[in-house]
Amino acid sequence: MSILIDKKTKVLVQGITGAQASFHIQRAMKYGTKVVAGVVPNKREDFHLGVPLFETVKEAVEKTKATVSVVFVPAKSAKKAIIEAIDAELDIVVVITSGISIADMMEIRQRLLKSKTILIGPNTPGVITPSEAYLGIFPDSFQKAGNIGIISRSSTLTYEVVWELNKIGIGQSTIVGLGDDFIVGTGYGEIIEKFNNDEKTDVIILIGGIDGNYELDLAYKYAGLDNKKKFIALMVDDPTALSRFDGIASEIICNGIIETYKKREVFKNAGITIVDSIQALKYELLK
């Protein structure tokens, strides 16, 4: 079961006529994703890849009842596209675009606070529900349906984890790439709560990063949940992390919790199991 998308989800694509969008959307449609609309301002044609085109998100939603958008718009135009999707009251917006400015993302975050929209990204590989649907640029050939929910900020490590889990017969309910830009739309907390409430997800896996305090927010959120599901965090030490956090500013931003061992303490106090390798992760799941 999916916490965000499934084979019935109606999807619109912003920037569908671009080369990258065209490539990945064809793959997604072949996989089973229900793409019902494309949005291209000042459009010159009525269809692309067999999908009807509209000039605005609002019009696309009214005509097709789409509830989810995936954004393949260049960074300089992304803010306008994302805000348009939020204003159209879409449930989920998945932003593949990378390099959106911090100022633009701060404005987008303010819009999100006043909306119902969940924004995954920017700079995300996307979201995938194995054997049903996916949005983004995930390799789509090796995911396997199952009962493990995965949330991550590391695309390539996620692929490796999924590959190794499949080799021992462990599949996934949903995989969410939170996004790897400095500011992301939706943090871990809301996604973790959805996984915890999903009857088809038995175990939640976090593939954590060193930078910032997104993982700390997640730990505090998880600690306050009722009937918590098993939660395993894969946290691999990064010997270069301290060099990126030198100075008082980073202490303030991260509430003084910079080093990996301090994050580990917070996780343990929240009841989260911590592993430092994929082999240890597999052992924990097979226990």
Backbone angles phi, psi at 27, to 5 degrees: -65, -45
The last residue of a domain, from among 123, 152, 167 = 123
Q: What is the DSSP letter of 180?
A: -
- Residues in Cβ contact with 258 at an 8 Å cutoff, skipping those fewer than 6 apart: 241, 242, 245, 250, 251
pLDDT at 231: 96
Residue 52 in any domain: the answer is yes
Residue 59 in any domain: the answer is yes
pLDDT at 248: 41
Backbone angles phi, psi at 135, to 5 degrees: -130, 125
| pLDDT tens sequence across 157-215 | 899 999 999 999 999 999 999 988 888 898 888 899 999 999 999 999 998 755 557 77
- 10 Å CB burial of residue 211 (0-12, 13-18, 19+) is middle
Regarding whether 275 and 158 lie in a shared domain, the answer is yes
Interatomic CA distance for residues 51 and 33, integer angstroms? 12
Can you give the residue range of the structural domain that contains 167? 142-287
CATH number of the domain encompassing residue 88: 3.40.50.720
| pLDDT tens sequence across 83-101 | 999 999 999 999 999 999 9
Regarding whether 150 and 117 lie in a shared domain, the answer is no
Query: Considering the entire predicted model, what is its pTM?
Result: 0.90
Residue 247 in any domain: the answer is yes
CATH number of the domain encompassing residue 155: 3.40.50.261
Regarding whether 172 and 100 lie in a shared domain, the answer is no
Count of structural domains within the chain: 2
- pLDDT lower than 50: segments of the chain: 1, 239-254, 256
Regarding whether 148 and 99 lie in a shared domain, the answer is no
Residue 135 in any domain: the answer is no
pLDDT at 212: 58
Regarding whether 156 and 119 lie in a shared domain, the answer is no
